[in-house]
Amino acid sequence: MPAYFHPRLQQSRLVAGNRLRLALRHWPQTLFHLLAGAALLAIAAAALSRIDGDRIGLLLRLIVQQPLAIGLAFAAFGFAMGRSSTVELLQELRLGWWGAMPIPAAATQRSLRLHALLQTVFANAIVLAVLLGIVVLSRRSTEWLMPLAATASAGLWLGASAGFFAALRSRQHSGGSRRTQAHSSAALLRLPWLDHPQLHNLPDWQRRETVRRWRSGGRAWQIGALGLLVPMGMPLLPLIAFAALGVGLIWYGLALRASENTIVRASQTFAALPLPFPRFAAATLRYPLFAFACTATSGAAGLLLQAARWPVALGYVLALGLGSALSLSLCWRYRHRPYLARSRAIAETCLLLALATQFVPLALVLALALIARHYVVARSI
C-alpha cells in the first residue's frame, strides 16, 4: 500500500529519534547543555525585563494606523518564506537521492502542503509570542494588540499561500535552457587572487553558491522590508548611506550562509581524503573574509555618511567581525552536524549581546575565547 506522505517524513522522524537516543546516551553532555541553556534563558530574561515595553507599544500603536503597510510587509515575509522553503524541499526531493525512488506524486504534494502548513503555523506563533511579550512588558493600554495581530497574521498567511503556489508553478515551468542554467552562478568579475593555492575550487564554490542564491531571489523579502523603512522625502546622500548599510548586511548574511553550507557539503565530499583541517579552514575562509571586508567598508561608510561618529563605525566593524568569526568557527566545529552549529550560534550570540549590555570588555574577551575554543575543537576532529 503506497504511503500517504513522502517517506522523507518517516526518515525525519527516525533521525529525530536517533538524536534523542544519542542525547540520552551522552547524558553528562546533554545535562551540561541544558544547564547552559537555562542560564542563557535567565540572562536573556533579565535583559528583557529592562526593556521599556511602553515605548515599543507606543511605536506599535503608531504603526497599526497603517494596516496596509503592515499587511504588505508580513505578506512579503510570508511569500519569501513559503516560496524559498518549498523550492528547497522540491529540489531536495527531485535532485537528491530521493529523486530515484518510485514515490507517487500525490504523496509528494501532500507532504509539501503539510510542510508549508506547519512552517506557517510556527512563524505565526513566533509573531504572536513576540507581541504578547511586549504586552507583558507594557504597563499602559495594549489596545493595539488585536488589530496588529490580526493584520500581521492575515498578511503572513496570504503571503505564505501565494509563495507556496508560486513555488509549485515555477516547478511546472522550469524548463529553461541548459546554457542559462549552467552559467547562472558565474560571477561578473573574475577574482583569481581569492583562490587557494592547493584548494582553489573551494572559494570559487562558495562564491558561485552566493551568486546563485542572490540571483534566484534570495533575501528579496528583506530588501522589500528595508524599503518600507525608508521615509518619504529622504535626501539622496542619506538614502545612499542607508542602502549601503542595509543592503550590504542583507547580502553579507546570504553570503555567509552560502559559505557555511558549502563548508558542510565540501566536508562531506572530501570526507575520504586525507585533507588537513588547517588547509581546509584557510581555503574556506578566503571568500567569507572578502565578503566581510566589502560589507564592513560599505557599512562603515554608510554610518559615517549619516553623521555617525567613528567609534560607532568601529564598533559596527568589530561586532560584525566577531559575529562572523563565531559563526564560521562553529560551522567548522560542527561541519558534520550543521543543525547544532546554527542553534549554538544563536544561543551564544544572544549570550554575548546580553553580556555586552552590562560589561562590553568581558563580552569581547568571552567572544574571542569561544572562537578560539571552537577552532581548537574543530581542528581535533
Higher confidence at residue 81 or residue 158?
A: 158
Residues 203 and 163 placed together within one structural domain of the fold = no
Mean pLDDT, rounded, for 129-147: 76
Lowest mean per-residue pLDDT among 88-102, 132-146, 178-192 = 178-192
- Work out how many domains the chain is built from and give that number: 2
With a CB cutoff of 8 Å and minimum separation 6, the contacts of 138 are 53, 54, 56, 57
297 inside domain: yes
**Domain final residue pick, 138, 173, 208:** 173
What are the cell numbers at 168? 509549485
Q: Of the candidates 144, 173, 202, which is a domain's last residue?
A: 173
**Residue 210 sits in the same domain as residue 261:** yes
The mean pLDDT value for 325-338 works out to 89
In whole angstroms, what is the distance from residue 155 CA to residue 67 CA? 10
DSSP state of 231: P
* pLDDT-based confidence at residue 181 (cuts at 50, 70, 90): very low
pLDDT band at 176 (very low <50, low <70, confident <90, very high): very low
Task: Taking residues 249-256, report their average pLDDT.
Answer: 91
State yes or no: pLDDT of 29 exceeds 50.
Answer: yes
In a domain, 25, yes or no: no
Percent of the chain topping pLDDT 90? 15
Query: Is the domain of 227 the same as that of 279?
Result: yes
Q: What pLDDT was estimated at residue 24?
A: 87
Answer for the pair 319, 325: CB distance below 8 angstroms, yes or no: no
- Whether the predicted pLDDT of 182 surpasses 60: no
Residue reference for cell 588547517? 278
- Rounded CA-CA distance 326/332 in Å is 10
Average of per-residue pLDDT values in the chain: 81
Report the pLDDT averaged over residues 91-117. Answer: 82
pLDDT confidence tier of residue 136, bands split at 50, 70 and 90: confident
pLDDT at position 50 over 70: no
Q: Is residue 36 part of a domain?
A: no
Would the pLDDT of 45 be above 80? no
Q: What is the mean pLDDT of residues 130-155?
A: 79
- Comparison of pLDDT for 157 and 141, the residue scoring more: 157
Asked if the structure places residue 78 within a domain, the reply is: yes
**Whether the predicted pLDDT of 188 surpasses 80:** no
The reply to whether 364 and 305 lie within a common domain is yes
Give pLDDT, residue 234: 75
Please check the confidence at residue 209 and state whether its pLDDT lies above 70.
yes
Q: How far apart are CA 277 and CA 267, in angstroms?
A: 10
Query: What pLDDT, on the 0 to 100 scale, is given for residue 35?
Result: 79
Residues 158 and 232 in one domain: no
User: What average pLDDT does this structure show over 298-307?
Assistant: 87
**Is the predicted pLDDT of residue 178 greater than 70, yes or no?**
no
Shared domain check, 256 and 160 = no
Full residue range of the structural domain in which residue 90 is found: 47-173
pLDDT of residue 59: 64
Q: Which three cell numbers stand for residue 266?
A: 565540501
Q: What are phi and psi of 235, to 5 degrees?
A: -60, 160
Residues 203 and 164 in one domain: no
pTM summary value: 0.65
pLDDT of residue 141: 62
Q: What is the per-residue pLDDT for 308?
A: 83
In this predicted structure, the answer to whether residue 121 has a pLDDT above a threshold of 90 is yes
Q: What is the pLDDT of residue 219?
A: 73
Q: Based on the domain organization, do 147 and 224 belong to the same domain?
A: no
Bigger pLDDT: 235 or 119? 119
Give me the mean pLDDT over the 185-197 stretch.
65
Answer whether 81's CB lies under 8 Å from 73's CB.
no
- 206/333 same-domain check: yes
Same domain, 116 and 200: no
Q: What pLDDT was estimated at residue 117?
A: 92
Same domain (yes/no): 254, 329:
yes
